[in-house]
Copies of this chain bind each other. A is one copy, B any other.
Amino acid sequence: MKNTKVVLNQRPEGALKESDMVLVEETLPALEDGEVLLEVEHLSVDAFIRTTFDEGAFHGTADLGQPIMALGTARVVDSRFDGLNQGDAVFGPMGAQTHAKLPGAMLQKLDESELPARSFLGVLGLATGMTAYAGMTWVAEVSEGDTVVVSAAAGAVGSCACQVAKNLGARVIGIAGGPAKVDYLVNEIGCDAAIDYKAGDLEGQLSAAAPDGVDVFFDNVGGEILDTLLLHINERARVVICGAVSQYERTGDVRGPSNYLKIPEKNASMLGFTVMRFAEQYPEIQSGITDWVLSGKLKLPEQVENGIDQFPRALTLLFSGGHMGKLLVAP
């Protein structure tokens, strides 16, 4: 079986370039006992992938010449693993490639009866919808009447986070770059207001959108946006640090929040979490999300790029802000 994989060509310096990655063709060896041959259907384009390109990364470091780490969904083509059969849909660490040969034990068989398989990369994705659900519900503890601000709101986590907060009774303000995203946030995602940070005067826009201050800030960006928000937090505010996409490319030169002394001044908290903390609640989260999706209270628009050769460009899009909703590659 032929496979086309995307491998790390060189460790990126500064902004990620398409040329940091390169396509390689190979022939996959025969299956061994316990292994499964997969045709990859959708790859999830995630910010954490960028962090694996540096030495000493939290999620593990990518090796030059190995397929770039990526989660995905796939269809079983051939199986020598009990419990997985040809035609089954699975989720797992596919790597950025068209086909994969993996131990069956590393895969999760997917139930496609309610939502399509690719939902497990988006609205039901651990790092996407489930992160947004757990973060808003149990970390930020959003309740009726809270003013909630979400950064990178037009991204996959942000789009879900805005809607989860709405469903919990909050007034929700999304921050994103450009008029198309502002329109998307208000008209597709249902934000009460949206801020275009590229239009300048973030401070003034925030004062206008949240005149009574901010109870919850769900941050995916860091940098200047985090610093500005800190000036607007209310007493007992919760600042949830979900990510810091503005800082991932600044190895060794991360900008810390210089207004962090607002945290003690306001009796506030800066809360970090990873969704794994809520492993015992996964079934509860999944059924909560599925109910909302089926009743129209939660949706995650998808942007699908076709062809494995589009993977490098898609990954750079994630950092240049050139997408809305969930970014997928269909190899």
Taking Cβ atoms with an 8 Å cutoff, the residues of A that contact B are: 58, 222, 227, 241-244, 247, 253-274, 277
Q: Which of B253, B259, B268, B272 contacts A256 (CB 8 A)?
A: B259
| A271 neighbours in B (Cβ, 8 Å) | 263, 269-270
Expressed in whole angstroms, the Cα–Cα distance for A243 and B261 within the complex equals 8
> Would you call A258 and B260 a contact (CB within 8 A)?
no
Expressed in whole angstroms, the Cα–Cα distance for A255 and B256 within the complex equals 7
24 example contacts (A-B, Cβ-Cβ < 8 A) are as follows A222-B261, A227-B256, A241-B260, A241-B264, A247-B261, A254-B258, A254-B260, A254-B261, A256-B256, A256-B259, A256-B260, A257-B257, A262-B272, A263-B271, A264-B274, A265-B274, A266-B272, A267-B272, A267-B273, A267-B274, A268-B272, A269-B269, A270-B270, A270-B272
> Would you call A270 and B273 a contact (CB within 8 A)?
no
Q: Which of B242, B253, B260, B261 contacts A260 (CB 8 A)?
A: B260
Sample of 19 further A-B pairs with CB below 8 A, known A241-B260, A264-B273, A269-B272:
A222-B261, A242-B264, A243-B264, A254-B258, A254-B260, A254-B261, A256-B257, A256-B258, A256-B260, A260-B260, A262-B272, A265-B272, A266-B272, A267-B272, A267-B274, A268-B272, A269-B269, A269-B271, A270-B271
| A242 neighbours in B (Cβ, 8 Å) | 264
A266: nearest residue on chain B (CB-CB)? B272
Q: Which of B255, B258, B259, B270 contacts A269 (CB 8 A)?
A: B270
Expressed in whole angstroms, the Cα–Cα distance for A241 and B222 within the complex equals 19
| A264 neighbours in B (Cβ, 8 Å) | 241-243, 272-274
Expressed in whole angstroms, the Cα–Cα distance for A254 and B264 within the complex equals 15
Q: Which of B244, B262, B269, B277 contacts A261 (CB 8 A)?
A: B244
Expressed in whole angstroms, the Cα–Cα distance for A270 and B247 within the complex equals 19
What's the least CB distance linking A231 to chain B, in Å?
12
A227: nearest residue on chain B (CB-CB)? B256
A248: nearest residue on chain B (CB-CB)? B261
Expressed in whole angstroms, the Cα–Cα distance for A89 and B30 within the complex equals 89
| A273 neighbours in B (Cβ, 8 Å) | 264, 267
| A58 neighbours in B (Cβ, 8 Å) | 265
| A277 neighbours in B (Cβ, 8 Å) | 267
| A272 neighbours in B (Cβ, 8 Å) | 262-270
| A247 neighbours in B (Cβ, 8 Å) | 261
| A268 neighbours in B (Cβ, 8 Å) | 272
A244: nearest residue on chain B (CB-CB)? B261
| A265 neighbours in B (Cβ, 8 Å) | 58, 272, 274
What's the least CB distance linking A216 to chain B, in Å?
14
Expressed in whole angstroms, the Cα–Cα distance for A242 and B243 within the complex equals 25
| A261 neighbours in B (Cβ, 8 Å) | 222, 241, 244, 247, 254
Q: Which of B253, B254, B263 contacts A241 (CB 8 A)?
A: B263
| A258 neighbours in B (Cβ, 8 Å) | 253-256
* Residue among A264, A268, A271 having the largest count of chain B Cβ atoms under 10 Å: A264
What's the least CB distance linking A230 to chain B, in Å?
9
